[in-house]
Amino acid sequence: MGDSRVPRSITETYLAQYRAVIAQSDDSAALFPLTGAQRRFLLTSDLGPGRCPDIVPLFFTFPKGTVDVARLRSAALRFASRHTALRGSVTVVRGTPALRLGPPSVEVREVSAGTTVRNAVRAELGSWRAGGPVLRLLLARGPDEEDELLAIVLDHVVCDERALGIVTAGLTEAYTEDIPHRTAPEDAAAYRDAVTRQLAAEEEASRPAHLDYWATRLSVLTNQDPVHPGATSPPDDAADNGMLSHRLPAPEGMRGSVFPVLLDAVSVVLRKGAGVPALGYTWGGRPPGTPEILGCFLNTVVHPVREQAVSLEETAAMWWDDLEHADTPYDEVLRAVRREGASWSGSLDGFVVFEDLGRRPPLTLGGTPGREVHLTTPRRYAAPLAVAFSLGEDLLVRVVWDRGRLADDDARAAGTVLLHTLRHHLDHGADQPTRHGTSRSVAHIPGKE
């Protein structure tokens, strides 16, 4: 007798639909399931303004004449052909999202720089629409500029932090025509196994104990006023973003537990508003034992910024508790919170992105290392204010805001408060103890690679 239970979670419902599609498909070997994050990115790109997907760009400058476009195109195709996430397209089969295997989903071309290389690349990203290649390499050369600018842009549906390192290392190797580490069939088997195990983790984290945890933890959230008087540009399909950047000394004595410090510093900024803001951040890692595959294995975790300040130790303790439940899909969390009667709509007031640059090999083409630069891009962020932290030889802090939702003066004031708080923590901080009394690495969710 078959199992007649009604699916109890979003993940279980999706898996039942996916298995039904596979059972009726003539090319089931070419279909792969999607993680919860991938399905959410697909949904937001289909329903968002102008059908603009969430993208992850990296920018590198090289001395003019370094990059051979034909050679780069061959390298990108060679690299993509060995990675399942970059082959084919994300599609919907009989109402069910899936990845359908096909040719490499790559575009490599030179773009015309009418004014500056940076403006040329910005214009290209502003016209990015869903349905195109998931990996694009855009090279801009200006007649009066000494450097050329290379943009490596991935659709977020195939990209997380670990994926960025796989891409820079893979393109470096492919540009020199090195032999790939794994064949396409081997990668397909590893990718299917990893996504299957990721979905199993998401399903397990959607059980009542996890949902009760998040319903209680986030019950205090309140929606903020979406209108920000003084915003310097009207909201439209192409966001007008501002950016401030600053470099601080790397926290050598607390590198392994720096994230609670960053979380607390951004919380201080958001606490200046009314109500209880929602601060989101991405977190994730491949399931244990997963090979170095390219893909999207993350989730958005929500941290409620309490009205009253708490100690850094308390912030760290709450954060570790959250990570024990971090596999619960975002949509499942929202459903649980709303079921408990909370008014939170799921919108975020701030967002934190953290990247350990020690995990990302440099991009080197033809023996010349690229110099990474950062550009404001015409893209929508998950919140009016986002803060990106890149930890390498120093700590690069970038404050990015949507000028249609947040006034420049308010954003600059937030940046000042943020840097003041960070300096205080970094000058007086040390490794934060965990509930077990020892320091733990924050590179991944506990239990994941």
Q: Kindly report, residue by residue over 434-447, the tens digit of the pLDDT.
A: 444 333 333 333 33
Pairing of strands 135-141, 106-112: parallel
Task: Identify whether residues 192 and 314 lie together within a single domain.
Answer: no
Task: Identify whether residues 296 and 395 lie together within a single domain.
Answer: yes
- Tell me the H-state helices in 25-160: 36-47, 69-80, 117-126
Measured from the Cβ of residue 208, the count of other Cβ atoms closer than 10 Å reads 11
Residue 419 lies in a domain: yes
Measured from the Cβ of residue 315, the count of other Cβ atoms closer than 10 Å reads 21
Rg (CA), the chain: 22
- The CATH number for 244's domain is 3.30.559.30
Task: Identify whether residues 218 and 105 lie together within a single domain.
Answer: no
Task: Identify whether residues 171 and 249 lie together within a single domain.
Answer: no
Task: Identify whether residues 173 and 63 lie together within a single domain.
Answer: yes
For the stretch 402-433, pLDDT in tens is: 999 999 999 999 999 999 999 998 887 644 44
Residue 285 lies in a domain: yes
Residue 439 lies in a domain: no
Tell which of 135, 167, 198 closes a domain. Answer: 198
Residue 65 lies in a domain: yes
**How many domains, in total, are found in the chain?**
2
Residue 263 lies in a domain: yes
Measured from the Cβ of residue 84, the count of other Cβ atoms closer than 10 Å reads 25
- Tell me the H-state helices in 276-326: 312-323
> Residues 440, 443, 447, 449: is their CA dihedral positive or negative?
negative
pLDDT computed for residue 331 by the predictor: 94
The first and second tokens of residue 412, run together, are 């600059």
Check: CB of residue 120 under 8 Å from CB of residue 111: yes
b/e per residue, 111-126, with b = 16+ CB within 10 A? bebeeebbebbbbbbe
Residue 440 lies in a domain: no
pLDDT computed for residue 256 by the predictor: 66
pLDDT computed for residue 229 by the predictor: 43
Domain assignment of residue 290, given as a range: 206-428
Strands (E), 238-377: 241-249, 278-283, 299-304, 350-356, 364-365, 368-369, 371-373
- Low-confidence spans in the chain with pLDDT less than 70: 1-7, 46-51, 179-180, 223-239, 253-256, 429-449
User: Which residues pair with residue 154 across a beta bridge?
Assistant: 56, 135
pLDDT computed for residue 248 by the predictor: 95
Task: Identify whether residues 161 and 267 lie together within a single domain.
Answer: no
pLDDT computed for residue 46 by the predictor: 63
Task: Identify whether residues 273 and 369 lie together within a single domain.
Answer: yes
Tell which of 198, 221, 240 closes a domain. Answer: 198
Residue 319 neighbours by CB under 8 Å, 6+ apart = 259, 260, 263, 303
Task: Identify whether residues 146 and 253 lie together within a single domain.
Answer: no
pLDDT computed for residue 357 by the predictor: 92
Task: Identify whether residues 178 and 244 lie together within a single domain.
Answer: no
Residue 312 lies in a domain: yes
- Tell me the H-state helices in 271-351: 312-323, 330-339
Task: Identify whether residues 74 and 178 lie together within a single domain.
Answer: yes
pLDDT computed for residue 445 by the predictor: 30
Tell which of 163, 182, 198 closes a domain. Answer: 198
- The CATH number for 115's domain is 3.30.559.10
Residue 282 lies in a domain: yes
b/e per residue, 221-252, with b = 16+ CB within 10 A? bebbeeebeebbeebeebbbbbbbeeeeebbe
For the stretch 1-60, pLDDT in tens is: 444 444 489 999 999 999 999 999 999 999 999 999 999 998 877 655 556 778 999 999
Task: Identify whether residues 232 and 184 lie together within a single domain.
Answer: no
Check: CB of residue 373 under 8 Å from CB of residue 61: yes
Task: Identify whether residues 193 and 211 lie together within a single domain.
Answer: no
If you average pLDDT over every residue of the chain, what do you get? 87
Check: CB of residue 195 under 8 Å from CB of residue 32: yes
